[in-house]
Copies of this chain bind each other. A is one copy, B any other.
């Protein structure tokens, strides 16, 4: 992520704190397994939101660094468990913990990262632990609700929206809230940032789901059509299904092949309409910042939704 020079410095400190915390165990396997995915890199979007949002108050508090490192550790923990559930072999170009050390180590080192993330949150004090654990609970809820929708091509798009609000947007909103809370920003600024984070998170997930259908695997690093194969019908599919009965017929018949289904998702307007929704949400995220001063940190926040859309 390119941004103001203070952000580069902030993120270097947070990176150090994350690696130190994930690698803190005296046992080499625990340290290696818990640091594995962090060392493979990543966009660090959630901790960046904490650090940028902390400019809404008095920046530079140690609590903001701790909260930023904590939220990424927790996010990585959820990825460890996702990879166990989906039996994913590679992520961020590296073998997953699950494929390298097996299910047991993947489940337990995910739990370890949760605990270490919560420990950082507790060290930060104030509201950090509350904001963080509430967001984790929401993420888990969203993920569990998603399992109940597997294979349901007639799920109302609004149900999809409320699921991704918990599964994904809750942690984006929490990142913004943590920045505001640890810097002592005003209630008004905090509310604007939380709204921004929530809308950004929704746009991010819709784009992520679109990329699974139409993304370039060279750029995404993911195998296209994974959601369809797993019976996870995302917004473009749900929207298209309402206009293209042939799509529903094929899905009901158990068809899961991307090449066969994608033309029907396109002809049903699913790609177009989902893209439009992501764009509206990204615009809405920027609009949520309107009451905030025009400074380099608000500029940095405005650039993130643009970057998310630019992947399409």
Contact = CB atoms under 8 A, between A and B. Distances in A.
Interface in A116-130: 116, 118-119, 121-123, 129-130
Chief secondary structure at chain A's binding surface: helix
A111 B81 contact: yes
A58 interface: no
13 contacts: A27-B145, A30-B140, A77-B111, A104-B147, A108-B143, A109-B144, A112-B137, A119-B129, A119-B130, A119-B137, A121-B122, A121-B129, A122-B130
B114 A144 contact: no
B85 A144 contact: no
Given A103-B85, A115-B133, A130-B119, A108 B140 contact: yes
Contacts of A111: 77-78, 81, 114, 136, 140
A237 interface: no
Contact of A141 (B30, B118, B119, B121): B30
Given A108-B143, A118-B129, 5 more contacts: A30-B144, A109-B144, A118-B133, A119-B134, A122-B130
A140 B109 contact: yes
Contacts of A12: none
A148 interface: yes
A1 to B, nearest CB: 28
A24 to B, nearest CB: 8
A33 interface: yes
B81 A141 contact: no
A267 to B, nearest CB: 32
State the 5 A-B residue pairs at the shortest beta-carbon distance, nearest first. Answer: A122-B129, A115-B136, A112-B140, A115-B137, A118-B133
Interface in A24-70: 25, 27, 29-30, 33
Contact of A29 (B29, B108, B132, B145): B145
Contact of A119 (B25, B103, B112, B133): B133
A84 interface: yes
Interface string A81-103: 10011000000000000000001
A202 to B, nearest CB: 19
A289 B137 CA distance: 38
A107 interface: yes
Contacts of A105: 144, 147
B109 A85 contact: no
Contacts of A30: 140-141, 144-145
Contacts of A133: 115-116, 118-119, 121-122
A72 to B, nearest CB: 16
A145 B78 CA distance: 21
Q: Which of A25, A27, A144 has the most chain B CB atoms inside 10 A of its CB? A: A144
Given A118-B136, A129-B129, A133-B118, A84 B107 contact: yes
A141 B112 contact: yes
Contacts of A78: 111
A241 to B, nearest CB: 23
